[in-house]
């Protein structure tokens, strides 16, 4: 039961608009879900109102590229979108064993 007290963060990295709209990825099943991209792509996604509904925030690199900063925070940023028990998520990670699952 204690495993259920954990918090799962899902991060999806997108390099450009074509990557973002490709249909690959964008699987946000965690308690906290983050889209990671360039500042320019973040601005375009926000401007076009294309932020996926289950994303808590968009993270972008700082000016030095050494850390991620908040590029955009959703109004519902404090919601958890996890619908699976922690044990199921952990088991999926073990089964994947480094393989892509989507």
Give burial (CB, 10 Å; 0-12/13-18/19+) of 81: middle
Q: Rounded to whole angstroms, how far apart are CA atoms 80 and 33?
A: 8
Q: Specify the pLDDT at position 98.
A: 63
- Indicate the DSSP class of residue 56: S
Q: Which two tokens stand for residue 68?
A: 């991620």
Write the pLDDT tens digit of every residue in 61-89. Answer: 999 999 999 998 987 667 777 878 888 88
pLDDT tens for 9-57 read 889 999 999 999 998 888 788 888 999 999 999 999 999 999 998 899 9
């Amino acid at each position: 039961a204690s495993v259920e007290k954990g918090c799962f963060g899902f991060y999806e990295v997108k390099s450009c608009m074509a990557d973002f709209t490709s249909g690959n990825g964008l699987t946000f099943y965690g308690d906290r879900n983050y889209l990671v991209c360039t500042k320019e792509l973040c601005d375009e996604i926000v401007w076009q109102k294309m932020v996926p509904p289950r994303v808590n925030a968009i993270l972008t690199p700082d000016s030095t590229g050494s850390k991620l900063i908040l590029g955009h925070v959703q109004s519902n940023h404090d919601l958890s979108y996890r619908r699976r028990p922690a044990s199921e998520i952990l088991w999926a990670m073990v089964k994947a064993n480094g393989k892509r699952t989507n």
